[in-house]
Amino acid sequence: MSIVAIVGRPNTGKSTLFNRLIKRREAITDAVSGVTRDRHYGKSDWNGRDFSVIDTGGYAVGSDDEFEEEIDKQVELAIDEADVIMFMVDAADGITLEDETVAQLLRKIEKPVMLVVNKVDNNAREQDAYEFYNLGLGDYYSISSINGSGTGDLLDALVELLPEPREEVEVDLPRFAVVGRPNAGKSSFINALIGEERYIVTDIAGTTRDSIDTKYNRFGFEFNLVDTAGIRRKKKVKEDLEFYSVMRSVRAIEHCDVCLVVLDATRGFDGQVQNIFWLAERNRKGIVILVNKWDLVENKDTNTVRDYERRIREEMQPFTDVPIVFISVLNKQRIFKAIETAVEVYKNRSKRIKTSQLNETLLPIIENTPPPSLKGKFVKIKFITQLPTPQPQFAFFCNLPQYVREPYKRFLENKLREKFDFTGVPVSVYMRKK
* Secondary structure in 3-state letters for 206-249: CCCCCCEEEEEEECCEEEEEEECCCCCCHHHCCCHHHHHHHHHH
User: 118 a known binding residue?
Assistant: yes
In eight-state DSSP terms, residue 95 is: S
Closest by CA position to 258, among listed 276, 237, 242, 280: 280
User: 57 a known binding residue?
Assistant: yes
pTM of the model: 0.59
CATH 3.30.300.20 fits 355-433, yes or no: yes
**pLDDT (average), residues 44-48:** 86
User: 56 a known binding residue?
Assistant: yes
User: 123 a known binding residue?
Assistant: no
User: 293 a known binding residue?
Assistant: yes
**pLDDT of 414 higher than 70:** yes
- Same CATH fold assignment for domains 2-161 and 355-433: no
User: 231 a known binding residue?
Assistant: yes
User: 300 a known binding residue?
Assistant: no
User: 376 a known binding residue?
Assistant: no
User: 354 a known binding residue?
Assistant: no
Max avg pLDDT among 54-68, 180-194, 328-342: 328-342
User: 187 a known binding residue?
Assistant: yes
Tell me the β-bridge partners of 215.
224
pLDDT tens-digit series, residues 272-293: 788 888 888 988 999 999 999 9
- Give helix then strand counts, H and E, for the chain: 12, 15
pLDDT tens-digit series, residues 209-225: 344 566 777 667 777 87
Sequence ranges of the domains in the chain: 2-161, 175-348, 355-433
User: 294 a known binding residue?
Assistant: yes
**pLDDT of 61 higher than 80:** no
Q: Which residue has the higher pLDDT, 421 or 218?
A: 421
Q: Which residue has the higher pLDDT, 354 or 182?
A: 354
- The SS3 call for residue 128 is helix
Specify the pLDDT at position 381: 93
CATH 3.20.20.190 fits 175-348, yes or no: no
b/e map of 160-173 (b: 16 or more CB within 10 Å)? eebeeeeeeeeeeb
**Amino acid identity for residue 147 in this structure:** N
User: 186 a known binding residue?
Assistant: yes
User: 62 a known binding residue?
Assistant: no
Specify the pLDDT at position 127: 84
User: 157 a known binding residue?
Assistant: no
User: 181 a known binding residue?
Assistant: yes
Specify the pLDDT at position 353: 94
Q: List all residues 6 or more positions away from 125 whose beta carbon is below 8 Å from its beta carbon.
A: 91, 92, 119, 142
Q: Tell me what the pLDDT averaged over the chain comes to.
A: 80
Q: 250 falls in which pLDDT band (50, 70, 90)?
A: confident
Q: What whole-number distance in Å separates Cα of residue 336 and Cα of residue 346? A: 15
Least confident piece of the model among 28-32, 289-293, 305-309: 28-32
User: 229 a known binding residue?
Assistant: yes
User: 142 a known binding residue?
Assistant: no
pLDDT tens-digit series, residues 134-151: 999 889 999 988 888 888
CATH architecture observed for domain 2-161 = 3-Layer(aba) Sandwich (3.40)
User: 139 a known binding residue?
Assistant: no
Q: List all residues 6 or more positions away from 101 whose beta carbon is below 8 Å from its beta carbon.
A: 59, 61
User: 428 a known binding residue?
Assistant: no
Phi, psi at 352, each rounded to 5°: -115, 125
Q: What whole-number distance in Å separates Cα of residue 434 and Cα of residue 431? A: 9
User: 28 a known binding residue?
Assistant: no
| Cis ω for the linkage preceding 10 (within 30 of 0) | no
User: 59 a known binding residue?
Assistant: yes
**pLDDT of 429 higher than 90:** yes
pLDDT tens-digit series, residues 153-210: 999 999 999 888 665 544 567 888 888 887 788 878 888 887 754 433 333 333 333 4
User: 184 a known binding residue?
Assistant: yes
pLDDT tens-digit series, residues 98-120: 888 888 888 888 889 999 998 88
